[in-house]
Amino acid sequence: MAQPPIAKVTPARRVAVWLLTGVTRDGETLAELTAKDSYQALVPADRARALRLATETLRYAGRADKLLKKHISKAPPDQVQNTLRLGVVEVAGLGAPIHAVTDDLVTLIGAASRTRPYKGLVNAVLRKAVADADGKWDKSPVPTLPKWLRRPLMDAYTNPKVMQMEVAHMKGAPLDLTVKSDPDGWANTLGGVALPNGTVRLNGGQVSALQGFSDGDWWVQDAAARVAVDWLRPSAGEAALDLCAAPGGKTMQLAAAGAKVTAIDLSDRRLDRVRENLTRTQLSADVQVGDVLKLPAGEYDAVLLDAPCSATGTIRRHPDLPFAKQGDGISELIALQTKMLAAAAKQVKPGGRIVFCTCSLIPDEGEVQAEEFLAAHPQFVADPTIPTGMDPDWRTPEGGLRLRPDYWAELGGMDGFYIIRLNRAEV
């Protein structure tokens, strides 16, 4: 009997399974996969749905796997496992009708000769797992981080705190906006809330359709990410250098404060995003392609280095990271951060300051970097102040600020960041 053509499968589900398999089997991130033709070929509505399905499935994969495990004696191929995960999450977690989801996914599995033998398994296991989840989904255990990441975080923060972070990761992230002015007014206009640091937080929405987007009155930026520039405190007319500038959120903060901004990134393609954002927000900066490690010494009042890192602080927004990455390359990133911070320090004039930050939860990419830098550069000292809206208890012994996903939990959390402001002596 001829198999139904793959075209009959809902495009968003088909591509969602493709995204999931690209992450879990091939080690690619969703950002990398969504740039490919297989994703871009979808109409915008299907692209949005496919990405949402894949993201939610990754966020709740651990919970889905526990339900599936009791009904599977031998692990199936990755594509089949991801199909089952998607089905469980979409029905039990998102409330989709089981018959429509099951029929669609069985058709998808049957469309390829390699997975066709698993049609019966998908049909039976999916229905049983969903039945097991009935009324219990929200009470199921919180998915845990993979061992490669959980172990070092337990050493750094203790198990109870890591568990709190895992709860924050599972809940996901709201939509945060940095506004040029009047956060309370914009929160009222957009139906959100103004956070203690001035971020406007919304429950979600189509960004480009929100009031103020086309006029460039605000830009999307997690509440924690903006703290680096808040602490740098740029003034009108100051010379400011933004290193590793893409995608441009911090560049726009600096420009909005009136600083004369030079924005540098190694990738001209990534800088295109910075240029687009500056145009939309009607802000200006000197955008340049450059290598931080090869820049001649400068005389800037304020320097910002948001260094490349493991990005482990962004899992609440990017649940693909624990699956796509296995901890490989972190030691190389740490070595690069050390070199970059030393190079960035050469851009700061006497009496100036630098803010170093990473969106990482791993102390070797934050606290340890700062400690070693201060020991090797006696002309710099940690700034004793606290950025606007931050809790003094978040200060670290060497003078930095440790932000975690479980902070402001009642308000929706924040990304994990390490941030420190380093002031250079006048002479």
Which 3-state string (H, E, C) describes 272-302?
HHHHHHHHHHCCCCEEEECCHHHCCCCCEEE
Whether the pLDDT of residue 407 is over 50: the answer is: yes
User: What is the DSSP track for 193-234?
Assistant: EE-TTS-EEES---GGGSTTTTTTSEEE--TTTTHHHHHH--
Reduced to 3 states (helix: H, G, I; strand: E, B; else coil), residue 351 is: strand
Cβ pair 22, 95 in contact under 8 A? no
Per-residue model confidence (pLDDT) at position 1 = 33
Q: What's the average model confidence in pLDDT over 191-206?
A: 94
Nearest to 112 by CA among 4, 8, 23: 4
Whether the pLDDT of residue 7 is over 50: the answer is: no
Give the Cα separation of 3 and 404 in Å (integer). Answer: 50
Q: What is the pLDDT of residues 26-42, one digit of tens each?
A: 999 999 999 999 999 99
Per-residue model confidence (pLDDT) at position 367 = 98
Q: What's the average model confidence in pLDDT over 164-168?
A: 97
Q: What's the average model confidence in pLDDT over 374-400?
A: 97
Q: What is the pLDDT of residues 199-239, one digit of tens each?
A: 999 998 889 999 999 999 999 999 999 999 999 999 999 99
Q: What is the pLDDT of residues 263-295, one digit of tens each?
A: 999 999 999 999 999 999 999 999 999 999 999
- Find the catalytic residue in 244, 309, 357, 359: 359
Give the Cα separation of 203 and 225 in Å (integer). Answer: 18
Q: What's the average model confidence in pLDDT over 353-368?
A: 98
pLDDT band at 3 (very low <50, low <70, confident <90, very high): very low
| Architecture of the 6-139 domain | Orthogonal Bundle (1.10)
Kindly report the average pLDDT of the chain as a whole number: 95
User: What would the two tokens of residue 89 be?
Assistant: 């999450």
User: What would the two tokens of residue 379 be?
Assistant: 């002309």
Reduced to 3 states (helix: H, G, I; strand: E, B; else coil), residue 250 is: helix
244 a catalytic residue? no
Instruction: From residue 91, give the alpha-carbon distance in Å to each of 96, 135, 407, 412.
Output: 5, 12, 31, 25
Cβ pair 427, 419 in contact under 8 A? no
Cβ pair 239, 260 in contact under 8 A? yes
pLDDT band at 409 (very low <50, low <70, confident <90, very high): very high
User: What would the two tokens of residue 135 be?
Assistant: 């009324």
Q: What's the average model confidence in pLDDT over 238-254?
A: 97
Per-residue model confidence (pLDDT) at position 163 = 97
Domain boundaries, the chain: 6-139, 178-220, 222-424
Per-residue model confidence (pLDDT) at position 325 = 86
Class of domain 222-424: alpha beta
Give the Cα separation of 323 and 100 in Å (integer). Answer: 28
In sequence order, the β-bridge partners of residue 168 are: none
Whether the pLDDT of residue 6 is over 50: the answer is: no
- Going 177 to 178 to 180 to 183, the CA torsion angle's sign is positive
pLDDT band at 8 (very low <50, low <70, confident <90, very high): confident
**Phi first, then psi: what are they for 22, rounded to 5°?**
-60, -35
Q: What's the average model confidence in pLDDT over 320-339?
A: 93
pTM attached to this predicted model: 0.92
407, 149, 126, 20 alpha-carbon torsion, rounded to 10°: 100
Per-residue model confidence (pLDDT) at position 205 = 82
User: What would the two tokens of residue 27 be?
Assistant: 């080690």
pLDDT band at 326 (very low <50, low <70, confident <90, very high): confident
Nearest to 23 by CA among 72, 69, 86: 86
Per-residue model confidence (pLDDT) at position 9 = 85
Cβ pair 71, 128 in contact under 8 A? yes
Give the Cα separation of 124 and 106 in Å (integer). Answer: 10
Cβ pair 398, 367 in contact under 8 A? yes
pLDDT band at 399 (very low <50, low <70, confident <90, very high): very high
